[in-house]
Copies of this chain bind each other. A is one copy, B any other.
Amino acid sequence: MVADIPTPSLPIPAGDSGLFTDLYELTMGQSYFAEGMLEREAAFSLFMRGYPPHRGYMVAAGIDDALDCLAALSFDADSINYLRSTGIFTPDFLDYLSAFRFAGSVRAVPEGALFFADEPIMEITGSIIETQLAETIVINQVQYQSLLATKSARCVQAAGGRAIADFASRRTHGSEAGLRMARASYIAGFAATSNVLAARRYGIPPAGTMAHSYITGFASEADAFRAYARMFPQRSIFLLDTYDTLAAAHTAADVAREMESDSARLTAVRLDSGDLDALSRQVREVLDDAGLDYVRILVSGGLDEYEIERLVTNGAPVDMFGVGTRVGVSGDAPWCDMVYKMVRYDGQPVMKLSDGKQSLPGAKQVFRQHDPSGIMSGDVIALANETDGKGQPLLADAMRNGARTATREPVDAARQRAAAGLSALGPDYRRLRQPTEYPVTLSPGLTQLTEQVRHRISSAHQA
C-alpha cells in the first residue's frame, strides 16, 4: 500500500488561490477594511441544511483539500494586477491583499466521519476577511466530495461485501472531480479505481478490464481474448458484450480452458449491457459447465446503489461491480444544501433568521453517543465550551493560526473510519430509500443560546 502523498496537490495553483472566490467576499472585505472592521474576529460553521433525497447519513470528504487550499490562500502579483484592472478596488486594500495569508484556525470532523443535517463539520475562526475568503473554496471542496463519498457508501452497502471498482473518471465533472471521486469512493469502501493517476496519488489499487474497441481490433473475439491472456495471464477480464454476450461466454470459456493448459487463470468476465440479471445467470452456467467456477463475473453499465441492490437481492451471480456515471456525479442528488454561516462575530454569537435558512449561533461541538453494544444512539450539537457534553466529540483542531496542526492522514485511515462509522449506524438509518432520520438534538446550552440570540436580534430589529 502506497501512503498518501506527503505534498498536497492543490486543486488550483497556490498563487491563483485567493481569486478562487466570489467577488463579494473581496468587495465586502474592502468595506470592512474601510470601516476598520477587518480585524474583528468571526467564526463560521460549515453544515448541511436537510438531507438530499433518500440520504439518512453523509460521509465527510474533501476537508483535507479544503485545509490545503486555506493554507495556500494568497494573491500573487498577477492576481493583484487583475484586481487593480477591474477598477473596483482601492490601492490600500490591494496592498493589504498582496500580503494576505490565511492565519485563522479550523476545527473539523476527520475525513470519512459520518455526519448528519445541521451538524457543523468545519468551524473556521479568524478575522472577518480570513473567514469570508475561505467560504467559496471550502464549500466547493467539501460539498461535492462528501456527496460522492456518500453515494459510494450507499453502493458499498447495497453490494453486501462484493467488490466495487470506480470506473467514473470519464463522466465526472472534470479531472479534479475524477481524482476526488476515486478517493471519495475508496474512503467509502470501494476496492479499486480505474483512474491510474488517482491510484498513484492516493495509493488505491488500480483496476481495469478491456474495451469493446479492443475486441473489434482483432479478427475475432477469440483472438482478442487470447492476445490479452498472453499478456496478462493472471489478470485478464474478458468483455463479453461486443457482439453477442452468450456466444462470447462460450468463447471465453474455451480460451480460459486453453489458458489452464499454460497454468494461467482467467480472472473474470465482464457484462456491460443488456439484462445483467438474466445474463449473469446464463454466463455463470456456461462457466460452471466448463468447470470454470473460479472465473468471476463483473457487471457494469449504468449501475448505482439501487441497481446493485436489485441484482444482489435477486441473487444474480455477480461477484464484482464497476460503477461509473450515476455514482461519479451522485446522479440522483448532485448537490446538497451545504452552507457556511457566521456563528460568532466580534465576541457575540450571531445567527441567520431568514425563512427556512436559520442557523445555530456560537462555536459548537458535536457529541456522538453510542449504546452499550457500540451502536450509535444519537448526536448532540452543543456549544464548543460546554464541558458536560457526553459522547465522542467529532470536531478536532485541524489548523491553528494558518498552520495545519496534524500530519496528513493516509486515505486508508479515512476508509477505516468510514467503515467503522457505517457498521455502528443502525440499519434503519442506512436504508437506501426513505431512511429513518437519525436523532440529532441540541444541548441545553445551545438551546438556551439560540433563544437568547433570536430574541436579541428580533428585539433589535423591531426597535
Contacts and interface: CB of A to CB of B under 8 A. Distances in A.
Contact of A143 (B9, B79, B171, B176): B171
Interface string A332-356: 0011001011100110001011111
A161 interface: no
A312 interface: no
Contact of A22 (B25, B208, B217, B353): B208
Contacts of A172: 140, 144, 173
A110 B371 CA distance: 61
Nearest to A272: B354
Interface residues of A, number: 113
A231 B34 contact: yes
A69 to B, nearest CB: 8
B335 A325 contact: yes
Contacts of A206: 23, 86, 88
A23 to B, nearest CB: 3
16 contacts: A22-B195, A22-B196, A27-B231, A30-B231, A37-B217, A132-B213, A136-B169, A144-B171, A148-B173, A173-B177, A175-B176, A213-B342, A220-B460, A243-B457, A273-B355, A274-B354
Interface of A: 2, 9, 11-13, 16, 19-28, 30-32, 34-35, 37, 40, 42, 44, 69, 79, 82-83, 85-86, 88, 128, 132, 135-137, 139-141, 143-144, 148, 167, 169-180, 194-197, 199-200, 206-214, 216-217, 220-221, 227-228, 230-232, 235, 241-244, 247, 272-274, 325-326, 328-331, 334-335, 338, 340-342, 345-346, 350, 352-357, 457, 460-461
